[in-house]
Amino acid sequence: MEVSSDLHILHMMLVIANIAIIWEQIVRNTLILIALNTAFIAGCANQVTSEDANKETSTQESGSHETSDHRHSETRPNRPRQSAPTQTVASENSSMAVMGERRCMTTDSMPNHPAGPFRNGTEVKPNWIELCVPLNPVKNSVASPLGGAMGVALNGIQFKPRTSGYFDPSAKRGNSTQGDKNWSFDIASAPNQRGLDLNNAHVGKVDSYHYHSIPVTLIENLKGQGQTNTLIGYAADGFEMHYVGDQVSSGYKLKSGTRPSNPGPGGTYDGTYNEDFEFTSTATALDKCNMGLLNGRQVYFITNQYPFVPRCLWGEVSEDFIRSPRYNSNRRGQTGQEDRRNRRPKQ
């Protein structure tokens, strides 16, 4: 009887030991599964974050360039998406950040390249402003004429292609703010103009340094830094602005013949006035606002031909580019470069 009892006790001890071993394996496997699941979730989260960030940077990648007349492209509103995390790009005089559904540029309006000299002795001075545009712009069916700046370059300098001058035979220079509104002066294409520096920019009487045409040094500097994409700025409605040289062409051309006179300036259509040009829609040219397709996306182009910088916008224009708030400062700009009209970047 004692032997049987001892065997029974031994058997129970073995059963308990086996149960302990099995339980230990279950606990160990459970912990391993928890650790693997945690790592998997973290990896997915990192991938989602990376993909969300890449949505922003992918718009600046280089690739083949397509141009299309806007009549042949379907306008589809962009799908709304959740706000992206704040991303900041900074340069010497400006910073750009994505905040919620807006892209905002804070700048002192000082170029990051030499500017001037100007014939009237104007100096480039700081003008602190903040300009915000939609992060997900939508193309409307009707374009809007410019009511202020057209957009802002990556270095914080605004694009303002239009001038306030109109044909005025009584004015010293032949144009003034009180002139004939049917003939608007175009400083970027008018012959024998010396009011712009080598970057096709100048300083207005009550304004900051701004581009009227191709920002030559900015483009050359971006290429010199090894940038392979063609992005140079953002329009006031949020669409990207690109420069691809002669790979695209505008749909504008000079009219033939002579202008009317009395009233009118008379003379040959030579580009002195915006009205010297006419738009002809073709399958290979950009649309009337210099918009076309780039990698399947609608973007604006800076062109080597008139209008150089778009003169109308398809999207909802940010109020920041209409009112352009101004702030005080007194830092001087740089001068000392040769004066050239409508200069182009080196190809």
Question: How large is the average pLDDT for residues 108-136?
Answer: 87
Q: Which residue has the higher pLDDT, 61 or 257?
A: 257
Q: How many CB atoms lie within 10 A of CB 285?
A: 22
CB neighbour burial string for 61-70, b if at least 16 within 10 angstroms, e if fewer: eeeebebbbb
pLDDT at 118 > cutoff 70: yes
Using a pLDDT cut of 70, give the percent of the chain over it. Answer: 66
Q: How far is residue 194's CA from residue 191's CA, in Å, rounded to a whole number?
A: 9
β-pairing verdict for 240-243 and 297-302: parallel
Q: Which residue has the higher pLDDT, 177 or 9?
A: 177
Report pLDDT digits (tens) over 220-236.
988 877 777 899 999 99
**Res 23: pLDDT:** 64
**Res 190: pLDDT:** 80
Task: Judge contact between 247 and 285, C-beta under 8 A.
Answer: no
pLDDT at 93 > cutoff 80: no
Q: Where are the domains of the chain?
A: 2-58, 67-323
Dihedral angle of Cα 113, 119, 125, 128, to the nearest 10 degrees: -80
Structure tokens at 111: 């170029």
Structure tokens at 79: 């799908």
Contacts of 329 (CB under 8 A, 6+ apart): 108, 125, 126, 127, 128
pLDDT at 50 > cutoff 60: no
* pTM recorded for the entire structure: 0.68
Question: How large is the average pLDDT for residues 6-15?
Answer: 69
pLDDT at 164 > cutoff 70: yes
Contacts of 103 (CB under 8 A, 6+ apart): 96, 97, 132, 133, 134, 135, 234, 238
**Res 24: pLDDT:** 65
What are the angstrom distances between the C-alpha of 33 and each of 20, 25, 41, 46, 112?
20, 12, 12, 20, 55
**Res 87: pLDDT:** 30
pLDDT at 216 > cutoff 60: yes
